[in-house]
Amino acid sequence: MKILVAETAGFCWGVRRALDQAVDLAKKIDGPVQTFGPLIHNAQVMEELTEQNIHSVENLADIHSGTVLVRAHGIRPETFAQLRATGADVYDATCPLVRKVQKIITKYANDDYDVVIVGDDHHAEVVGLRGYTKGQCFVVADEKEAETLPSFDKVCVVSQTTQNDDTFARTVEVIKQKARVLRATNTVCEPTRDHQRETIDLARQVDLMIVVGGRHSANTCRLADLAAKEGARVLHIETDGELQESEVAACQTVGVTAGASTPEWMINRVVEKLEAFRPETTSRLNTYLKQAMGVLVASNVYVGLGAATLTLAASLLLQPTVGREELWPLVSAAGLFILAMHTVNRYQERSHYSGWGSFSPRVFQRFQQIMLWVGVIALACALGLALSLGFGQGLALAAFGLLGALYGVKLVPLSWARHITGIRRIKDLPASRDLATALGWTVAAAIVPLLTVGSSSPLRAAGVIGFVFLFVFLRSALIGVRDVQGDKIMGMETLFKVVGKRRTKAVLVGAVATLTALLLGLTFPWHGLPLAAFVFTVVPYTCAVCWSYHQRLLPKGAAGEILVDGQFLVAGAMAFLWHLNRQ
């Protein structure tokens, strides 16, 4: 049985944005975050959000104060006023694409146009849009319902953002016959179009189409309808628990897609269950490799190995004549320190909604409790090794270790934070994760070796420190992209979330160019074959990783991190080969 998974399946960026806002608020305030209506049409995600003190409130009468977040669907203007009148702090997570529709309706309503909304009458988005009209407002689901509309002098026609392009076009053709002046704007959003196009294409290739998502999610139900119209047998499920082997027994090809409210880990679990029904769909070796990658990444062993190999390269770049007896404690201390800090920080985020691969958040959190002890032991060993190298080395690691431990701790009282844009912790600072990660790795992989083995010149030392910082910053930014594309709710602690996709690309290109210049600079003076020339071979690898991000080919889950952190292993391997050759 062949399994085809839609590339666009899962959270749309509007849903991610609303979830990020809710999680950020929950981290900054002391009380619960109340969302006016369910933040997302997915019962499993809502259950996880409840554990983070994010709760859905349906009625205005239940809100008396506290913090209220307006969900991505938007609300009526008068409802905004009523929410503010309760004394609550009101935050708006309305999707910008929905807000665009609100502005279109407002513009034409002010010019005395009637309004027709093509969509689902009782959908939360449509209920909110109706509040922006002033004259007559009608909601129709399709061209058949449009036949019952009255005649119009002037009419504005818009669409619910999760509607279907063809339905909208056919409906507008009917309304044209009933209006003297018609202004129609197709406001179906691009993520919806991408979801629908790929679902239609996939449905034409498969015997069975599995649609994963809430049964009350309008966009998910529409995907199921579109697939059915292409002649495919459709199975709409909310979780992998609903899958039965008998339903796929006779299928040669199965397609999997998901609505905009479905996280990646739920999609992965459906795929893995399908693979379990037909073990021949994946080789035993492939299964073992996937499991091994998942354990290496989730346990932070792989990232620790990456830090160790990067430290090897940096130490040799600083002092090419350093011996192995000095390299081993440097490499071991850095690897254990980075493993420990990533483990401790991930444990601090154990209540954060971020399932890993096919693991639900709860299973992943239980695993992290075991890993916390591993992290504590690794940190103690790293500090011991650093102190054996010298007091300054131990102090450097201890200082940054303390800073890392405080990364997610609320250091600023809420009353003060209100005057500094709500910043209470280090991680609340924009792009803090990418910058803090780069600094931490630089201390372990470059500063500690510099204090231990020295450098032939201050300029070389600065070049190596810059090389390590940029290299790790690139890694962290790309992992942030992977997390966002993989439906992890990140808040604003990554570069991608702060500056957006286009500027992230520009920053990555600039970082690669600077990294290339630094490595070229470190090749001088050219005596024999310099180490920097060996390490320079990592640049094409880094360019390939950045290109895969640009093309949205960067794998999700553990595979993405294996690929990105492979840069450090390449750099370390080339340094080790150079060292062996020199011996």
Catalytically annotated residues: 125
* Beta carbons within 10 angstroms of residue 369's beta carbon: 10
Helix (H) or strand (E) holding 397: helix 391-405
387 is written with which tokens? 């102190």
3-state secondary structure of 59: coil
Query: How far is 43 from 427, CA to CA, in rounded Å?
Result: 29
Query: How far is 244 from 240, CA to CA, in rounded Å?
Result: 9
Contact 158, 183 (CB under 8 A): no
Angle (CA) 442-444-445 rounded to 5° is 65
Q: What's the sign of the alpha-carbon dihedral 156, 161, 166, 171?
A: negative
How big is the chain by its Cα radius of gyration, in Å?
27
Q: Nearest to residue 470, comparing CAs of 497, 507, 505, 419?
A: 507
Within its chain, how far is the Cα of 458 from the centroid? 39
168 is written with which tokens? 């909208």
Helix (H) or strand (E) holding 34: strand 33-36
3-state secondary structure of 91: strand
Torsion of CA 119, 122, 128, 132, to 10 degrees: 70
The DSSP secondary structure of 290-340, one letter per residue, reads: HHHHHHHHHTTHHHHHHHHHHHHHHHHHH-TT--HHHHHHHHHHHHHHHHH
Half-sphere exposure in the Cβ direction for 91 (13 Å, CA): 21
Neighbouring-strand partners of residue 139: 117
336 is written with which tokens? 């254990």
Helix (H) or strand (E) holding 239: none
Cβ within 8 Å of residue 270, ≥6 positions away = 210, 212, 237, 239, 240, 243, 256
164 burial level (CB within 10 Å; 0-12, 13-18, 19+):
buried
Query: How far is 115 from 101, CA to CA, in rounded Å?
Result: 12
Cβ within 8 Å of residue 385, ≥6 positions away = 329, 332, 333, 336
Contact 43, 37 (CB under 8 A): no
3-state secondary structure of 445: helix
Q: Nearest to residue 404, comparing CAs of 381, 374, 361, 435?
A: 435
Angle (CA) 329-331-334 rounded to 5° is 100
Q: What number of helices (H) and strands (E) belong to the chain?
A: 24, 12
